[in-house]
């Protein structure tokens, strides 16, 4: 019975993976360098999964694309402020190029390995992105999925100009949101609202309260896809590879439009309710506000106007609103001319959603392939797109994007399950917030996050990668607590980043060095040509299958737990089998064959997480890249070598995984 339980894991069906895949990571804005949240909260996870898929599917079947989000008001405003302060003297495009170059350099330091780190407003990717944008919006227009809507836009009378999205700031009007960073029609937490609902708006140009003037833009009929979105969410709830934060967030927006009104205004509301569109009064006695619910968004908007005119304070609930596609900001992708409307640019959020398609085309062209091959990755049921994003952006990737994907279907009958040849629904992998010293950090907020490059003054890239991957951001928000940057840390406090890195720099390193040095001493560096024992093979297989199941669900922290257990058990085996007595050559050779199988299995599982050290190990093992392939993952190291295979000589005290130089004491150096 005990043996049956022990082997139970082997009976579980292995997860299925697609034939091809695209991995994307949410794009950083082109107005700054990368802070730790960009890398530790998202990029490392996307890179780890892309590396895993390359090993699992073959690197020619995986495209990992991301890049700099070049357009939009945050970038134009950031450039304007820096030029005004004398901190930058070049053009807006120069500003974006400089930041793009810094971002790419930083990613390289961390081992982030996109096939293409593009830029939506620079070089060849800019040209292709403009073409894809024109196609995407024009096709939606031809299918009747767009409306022209006239709304009120903020206007600064003193400056004599319309204000773009980031040139006005106020308090978010959405109920339950405490953001003080409410911009023209969205807050920094991703909530959408009509501009006239922003609370206490102020112009960033003059610090005066702006007026409002009418402007006309193109909007996607997002509300028309409410029922299909509801069906899609029900499908997501059944899937093990979709985190609850994704479908729960989407669900919040699929409710009837509501308005929350403070109790103090209840009498005034009662006197006005007959002048409002038909609605339901929802009694919630224990709450400081009451709720009125509408069947349509226009009815809700009309009620908002009546409440505003009568001085009643209220907040709106989360709901689907028409998704704006265009604007009048100069720094943007030109919008196609439709129905004679010219001179508009595309709002940054919609065009950033299909930017990964543009980047896929750009990459394919760069390697000499037909750009149309992008459909093999984005439109085939044999391929999957994995989009790694932060929790704040679920509205765009989980609501606006899938609805527009549905709208692009050629058939008149739209569906949440697109047919072969149509844009397939991506798998959204959303992380919760990575906090800094227990607070949500923002470069525009009170708590400033450390820059990603700054952290490399204290830690190695692999120490940070392993720490971030082990935090469990897929389950909850977690704080990043680097001791050198924590003013509350006591001298004798353990540094959590260093602690997590010891598994590799101490335990795994010792295993590798012991195996190499023993082989060099006892067998002149010749790898023992022996098969590992059955118990060693069984333990390795168990670790591989556990890791694979967790990786299929993006449970990266669980993958680190599997590695921790397997490495520590391997270390215990090493201490017992190679205890200093090597007089029995046959026994020593078998122990080394076993140990090298543990080292080789660990290396394959660790390869996506810690690429620098594992590639160095491959170099010293003197084997080619076939060792990373999951097609041969259960094979011993001798599968990749010829008889009498000689390992590369390992000098004394050579490290494959190490601590940062700042972490060594004088005693360590001696």
C-alpha span between 513 and 652 (Å, rounded): 9
Contact between 30 and 94 under an 8 Å Cβ cutoff? The reply is no
pTM for this predicted structure: 0.91
Give the pLDDT of residue 445.
Answer: 57
Give the pLDDT of residue 280.
Answer: 96
C-alpha span between 120 and 331 (Å, rounded): 12
What are the tokens at 568?
């520590």
Give the pLDDT of residue 237.
Answer: 96
Bridge partners of residue 216, in order along the sequence:
150
Work out whether the CA dihedral 639, 642, 644, 645 comes out positive or negative: negative
Pairing mode, if any, of strands 211-220 and 323-324?
A: antiparallel
Give the pLDDT of residue 2.
Answer: 40
pLDDT beneath 70, residues of the chain: 1-11, 441-447, 666-670
User: What DSSP letter does each residue of 6-22 carry, written as one string?
Assistant: HTHHHHSPPPP--SEEE
Q: What pLDDT digit, counting tens, does each position of 43-98 carry? A: 999 999 999 999 999 999 999 999 999 998 889 888 988 999 999 999 999 999 99
Nearest of 217, 102, 213 to residue 154 by alpha carbon? 213
Task: Compute the C-alpha angle 288/291/294, nearest 5°.
Answer: 165
Contact between 26 and 428 under an 8 Å Cβ cutoff? The reply is no
Give the pLDDT of residue 9.
Answer: 47
Give the pLDDT of residue 447.
Answer: 62
Phi first, then psi, for residue 436 (nearest 5°) are: -125, 115
For residue 135, what are the contacts with CB-CB under 8 A and spacing of at least 6?
none
C-alpha span between 416 and 396 (Å, rounded): 17
C-alpha span between 501 and 506 (Å, rounded): 8
Q: Tell me the HSE value of 131 on the side-chain side, using a 13 A CA sphere.
A: 12
What are the tokens at 23?
């991995």
């Amino acid at each position: 019975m005990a043996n049956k339980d022990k082997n139970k894991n082997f009976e579980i069906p292995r997860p299925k993976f697609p034939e091809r895949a695209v991995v994307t990571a949410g794009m950083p804005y082109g107005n700054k360098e990368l802070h730790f949240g960009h890398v530790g909260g998202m990029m490392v996870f996307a890179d780890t999964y892309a590396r895993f898929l390359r090993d699992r599917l073959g690197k020619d079947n995986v495209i990992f694309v991301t890049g700099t989000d070049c357009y939009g008001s945050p970038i134009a405003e950031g450039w304007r402020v820096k030029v005004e302060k004398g901190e930058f003297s070049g053009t807006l495009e120069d500003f974006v190029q400089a930041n793009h170059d810094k971002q790419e350099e930083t990613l390289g330091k961390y081992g982030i390995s996109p096939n293409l780190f593009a830029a939506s407003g620079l070089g060849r990717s800019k040209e292709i992105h403009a073409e894809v944008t024109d196609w995407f919006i024009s096709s939606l227009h031809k299918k009747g999925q767009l409306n022209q809507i006239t709304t009120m836009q903020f206007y600064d009378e003193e400056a004599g100009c319309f204000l773009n999205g980031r040139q006005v700031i106020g308090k978010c009007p959405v109920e339950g949101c405490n953001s003080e960073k409410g911009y023209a029609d969205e807050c920094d937490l991703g909530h959408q609202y009509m501009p006239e609902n922003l609370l206490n708006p102020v112009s960033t140009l003059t610090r005066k309260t702006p007026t409002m003037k009418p402007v006309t833009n193109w909007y996607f009929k997002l509300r028309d896809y409410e029922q299909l979105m509801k069906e899609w969410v029900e499908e997501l709830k059944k899937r093990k590879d979709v985190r609850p934060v994704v479908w729960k967030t989407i669900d919040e927006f699929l409710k009837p439009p509501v308005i929350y009104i403070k109790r103090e205004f209840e009498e005034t509301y009662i006197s006005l309710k007959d002048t409002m569109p038909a609605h339901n009064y929802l009694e919630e006695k224990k709450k400081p506000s009451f709720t009125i619910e509408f069947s349509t968004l226009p009815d809700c908007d009309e009620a908002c106007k009546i409440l505003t005119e009568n001085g009643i304070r209220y907040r709106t609930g989360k709901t689907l609103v028409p998704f704006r596609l265009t604007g009048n900001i100069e720094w943007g992708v030109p919008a196609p001319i439709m129905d004679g409307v010219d001179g508009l640019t595309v709002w940054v959020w919609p065009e950033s959603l299909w930017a990964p398609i543009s980047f896929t085309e750009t990459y394919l062209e760069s390697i000499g392939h037909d750009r149309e091959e992008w459909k093999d990755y984005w439109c085939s049921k044999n391929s999957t797109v994995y989009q790694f994003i932060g929790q704040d952006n679920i509205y765009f990737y989980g609501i606006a994007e899938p609805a527009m994907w549905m709208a692009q279907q050629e058939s008149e009958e739209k569906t949440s399950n697109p047919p072969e040849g149509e844009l397939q629904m991506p798998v959204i992998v959303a992380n919760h917030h990575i906090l800094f010293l227990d607070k949500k950090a923002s470069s525009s907020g009170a708590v400033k996050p450390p820059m990603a490059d700054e952290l490399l003054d204290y830690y190695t890239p692999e120490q940070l990668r392993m720490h971030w991957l082990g935090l469990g951001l897929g389950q909850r928000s977690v704080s990043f607590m680097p001791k050198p940057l924590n003013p509350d840390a006591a001298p004798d406090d353990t540094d959590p980043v260093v602690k997590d890195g010891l598994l590799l720099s101490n335990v795994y390193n010792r295993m590798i060095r012991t195996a190499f040095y023993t082989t060099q001493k006892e067998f002149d560096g010749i790898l023992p040509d022996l098969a590992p024992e059955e118990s060693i093979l069984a333990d390795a297989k168990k670790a591989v299958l556990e890791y694979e199941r967790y990786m299929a669900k993006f449970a990266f922290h669980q993958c680190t737990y599997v590695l921790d257990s397997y490495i520590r058990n391997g270390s215990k085996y090493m201490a017992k089998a190679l205890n200093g007595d090597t007089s029995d050559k046959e026994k020593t050779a078998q122990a080394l064959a076993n140990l090298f199988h543990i080292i080789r299995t660990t290396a394959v599982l660790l390869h996506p997480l810690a690429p620098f050290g594992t590639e160095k190990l491959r170099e010293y093992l003197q084997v080619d890249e076939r060792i990373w392939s999951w097609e041969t993952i259960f094979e011993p190291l001798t599968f990749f070598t010829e008889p009498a295979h000689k390992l590369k000589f390992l000098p004394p005290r050579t490290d494959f995984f190490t601590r940062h130089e700042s972490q060594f004491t004088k005693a360590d150096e001696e």
